[in-house]
Chains A and B, each alone.
Chain A
């Protein structure tokens, strides 16, 4: 192609330098500096010391209890909650994706409208939809009123792991269903018939044919759910009643409440490195030609 067209990429090169590369370097820069009383910058490792040191808090999991630095504790808890939520999304979303894909494969219709309905909620502000769960789950909310009819409850749904988990599963479920669906729908029905002809019962067809073939979809679903779930600060803020600390709100508070840019940036850098490493692991397990440019469903 014409070499003169290359000039068209130059403004963009400048653009990504200013808006992608420099900002990220600035985060690293602020993580290693602080302002002294005269307002001039000096080098410091305090930010990272705050992240990896500081007060220790007991972290208990499955009956085990360890003393960990506060932020490491928050970090691990965020990761665990995000992982549980990703797993729930997968367990709930996979069957839904499979049922929809089967409708598409067998009847060639019906799933279009279902897919449409799956994407539709995303057009309503996520904040507002999450907020609406408060009305549903409050001690005197709609769900508890309903349970009350049967003499049950009131159940405390909010401001605990359940509320946060529900908010996450609710917000990210479509992001799990869509990539899995788009892989499943491409599986040729004749493969399933062949497996059945060769004596596989439906369970074996599922385990030996469908599941392995849908691996790229599952991985990209995990990718699309795990990271946002781990870094969200809205969901713990709204459904956790402001008392619930995950890594997302920990960072947000450093910047917006304590105005401690050094610790906030150090936390962001640690989070970013962690996210990039885990994406690398997922990427290495993905077939490189499986989903080219699979950004938009």
Chain B
């Protein structure tokens, strides 16, 4: 009885979390443009979506910004982490606490602060400011994902590699990078997600020339959202779902191969 109550409670929580998503997906197949009344099944919105250059452009910008800021910030973070790790204790702690600042400042303030920076140095708002802003807020998260892995590894391995004839560059590539690879992967996924999902910082740093998907949705949401956006979100949601399921199946298979129980923390 008690277990059934527990299960019922969980189901209610999940209904609450998924209700709007189900509504979005269902109404992407709605023949009428209303967001509440069902007017029959259609795939029109999906067809129109692929001819809507405004939405497709926004999607393209979003993906380009997300991929490049994820790659740049992660690559930069890998080198920075190694450098920070080599700093003497007190300086390292100082750098790490400054790294933590964007993490504890509200997004709103970060967005405004970056906007004021670009405004102050007279940089025209557009793709470049957007990319810089995304990279700026991603770098600390990438560092915070990679640093723990670097701390876990035995750093004498790096020296041993050099004793055995590696150049410092080789030692980093062949010893340190493989050791911190899980951290690098986490950083890539995390920064990519943060960038795709970001609205607040893009809102303040994009200007009028470029728009991301989130900005397009925001400007639509104040009037009425085009069901094509529902269709696009459904497609994105389903592709992420498939991707995550594949990743999770693979990791859990790996885990069982090592006869370990899968740790749920593996899911970013």
Residues of A with Cβ closer than 8 Å to B? 1-13, 15-16, 18-24, 26-27, 30, 92, 95-96, 99-100, 102, 104, 108, 111-112, 114-136, 138, 140-142, 145, 170, 173-174, 182, 185, 227-228, 230-234, 237-238, 242, 248, 251-252, 255, 261, 264-265, 268, 271-272, 275-276, 279, 292-293, 295-297
Contact = CB atoms under 8 A, between A and B. Distances in A.
B20 A136 contact: yes
B43 interface: no
A295 B80 contact: no
Contacts of A227: 104, 106
Contacts of A295: 103, 141, 144-145
24 contacts: A2-B158, A8-B79, A8-B80, A9-B86, A10-B83, A15-B80, A19-B114, A27-B116, A95-B9, A108-B261, A117-B14, A117-B17, A120-B244, A126-B199, A127-B214, A129-B20, A129-B24, A133-B20, A142-B23, A231-B108, A231-B109, A248-B108, A255-B204, A271-B109
A122 B18 CA distance: 11
Contact of A9 (B80, B139, B200): B80
A267 B198 CA distance: 23
A20 B105 CA distance: 10
Contacts of B221: 127-128, 131, 238
A22 B110 CA distance: 11
Contacts, number: 248
The 5 A-B pairs of least Cβ separation, nearest first, read A9-B83, A8-B83, A132-B20, A23-B113, A12-B80
Most buried by A among B6, B103, B262: B6
Contacts of B83: 5-10, 12
Contacts of A292: 148
Interface string B139-165: 111001101100000010011001000
A5 B197 contact: no
Contacts of B141: 295
B47 interface: no
Given A2-B158, A9-B86, A96-B13, A125 B112 contact: no
Contacts of B80: 8-9, 11-12, 15
B125 interface: no
B36 A24 contact: no
Contact of B117 (A26, A122, A123, A264): A26
Contact of B86 (A8, A102, A112, A232): A8
A121 B22 CA distance: 11
Contact of B24 (A111, A117, A128): A128
B17 A111 contact: no
Interface string B97-131: 01101111111111011111100100000000000
Contacts of A2: 86, 158-159, 162, 168
Nearest to A96: B13
Interface of B is mostly: helix
Interface of B: 6-7, 9-10, 13-14, 16-21, 23-24, 27, 35-36, 76, 79-80, 82-87, 95, 98-99, 101-110, 112-117, 120, 132, 136, 139-141, 144-145, 147-148, 155, 158-159, 162, 168, 186, 190, 193, 197, 199-200, 204, 213-214, 217-218, 221-222, 225, 229-230, 233, 236-237, 240-241, 244, 248, 252, 261-262, 264-265, 267-268
Contacts of A102: 6
A27 B95 CA distance: 21
Given A8-B80, A108-B261, A173-B17, A23 B116 contact: yes
A22 B36 CA distance: 48
B197 A16 contact: no
B190 A296 contact: yes
A26 B116 contact: yes
B159 A1 contact: yes
B214 to A, nearest CB: 6
B118 to A, nearest CB: 9
Nearest to B115: A255
Given A126-B197, A248-B108, A265-B116, A135 B204 contact: no
